Structure 1
């Protein structure tokens, strides 16, 4: 399902060129230590790289039955917004927690019962962050069957998401970058 080798190489080159791939000693959100870090914020703030990400993700979702594209606040917001613009699909943003003021709630955008939401993720390691968003969407009678991640670190996210009936589709894998 992911794009062609040429598309993957184009994205890999763009991620490296914008400084998204860094080497050193890092602690990841999962708590694991790593000798490299994928800083997708560098990619999502670079218009050329963000455009490539949006185009590649849109190629993947074309033909899928999807009612909205979603992203977890904050890291996935630019990605989901770019894919929404590229694909023409409505945008759904998922907060980590309910907002207790204003109109409140956990979602920005409309989530109807039965809506099929495709989630965008910047980097997946274990899949824990996006799993919380999937549970929140499902709790409101929405459906999630696919997550498109820019980079899969190949550290269990595919298996963890599969265990809840969700397919992880990476645009590139860490092994393509390092």
Structure 2
């Protein structure tokens, strides 16, 4: 494909109205002039397209030598990670001929039927597990889920694929959340696009009225936010 992955992904975010501009309070408590709404991927076409982007990023990182060529299952943390894991697994099969399982967790342990806290491909010792999540701001979800996975089996977490890296420093360091998680857990974290790439593309891409999605006012607000919180 002629256009870079991050630019194509930015166009998809904008056309899906998943990238919003305004005044948003994040889980971290920070007030942000932009927000990525994973809930906007709410039909079959959008979630299939999103899965295809994840699968493409995974294949690119395998080619780059950053990810293992053997991935046994894709793990997505409940709830937003569930459709990501399923859609990515499907896209890897259909678009890349790679058969990979999917696994996700339950918020509460099930005490009837098949029981347990995990759904999908069972975790077993020695398995290579790739995590998927939507947007990383502080890395809280990863810190919650890694111990749960390690408690299930002696697995190898080979990496984490995100849709967007917000490139924000943590509250306790000058490292970005991506850098901090990678340092803490020892696996690479790779985003389909980061916010700088998204805003650069958004200034060039135009809406139906021929106007850039990211105008000067939006760009200035984003730059000010990253000046304060960016890593």
Q: TM-score, normalised by structure 1?
A: 0.86
Rounded Cα–Cα distance in structure 1 between residues aligned with 2:2 and 2:123: 32
Partner of 1:153: 166
Rounded Cα–Cα distance in structure 1 between residues aligned with 2:42 and 2:85: 10
In the alignment, which of 77, 93, 115 is matched to residue 82 of structure 2? 77
| Structure with a larger share of its residues in strand | 1
Gaps of 5+ in 1: none
Rounded Cα–Cα distance in structure 2 between residues aligned with 1:151 and 1:4: 21
Rounded Cα–Cα distance in structure 2 between residues aligned with 1:117 and 1:99: 23
Rounded Cα–Cα distance in structure 2 between residues aligned with 1:54 and 1:167: 15
1:10-25 equivalences in 2 (<5 Å): 10-25=8-23
Partner of 2:192: 171
Rounded Cα–Cα distance in structure 2 between residues aligned with 1:100 and 1:27: 37
Gaps of 5+ in 2: 93-98, 169-175, 200-231
Superposed CA deviations along residues 2-59 of structure 1, whole A, max 9, x for unmatched, are: x996122111111111101101111222333211110122136461432542442342
1:1-178 equivalences in 2 (<5 Å): 6-43=4-41, 45=43, 47-48=45-46, 49-60=49-60, 62=62, 64=68, 65-87=70-92, 88-109=99-120, 110-140=122-152, 141-155=154-168, 156-162=176-182, 163-178=184-199
Superposed CA deviations along residues 117-147 of structure 1, whole A, max 9, x for unmatched, are: 1011011111110221122112222221300
RMSD: 2.3
The number of residue pairs the alignment matches comes to 176
| Structure with a larger share of its residues in helix | 2
Rounded Cα–Cα distance in structure 2 between residues aligned with 1:146 and 1:4: 27
Rounded Cα–Cα distance in structure 2 between residues aligned with 1:134 and 1:5: 35
How many angstroms does 1:160 deviate by? 2.3
Q: TM-score, normalised by structure 2?
A: 0.68
| 4+ long deviations beyond 6 Å | none
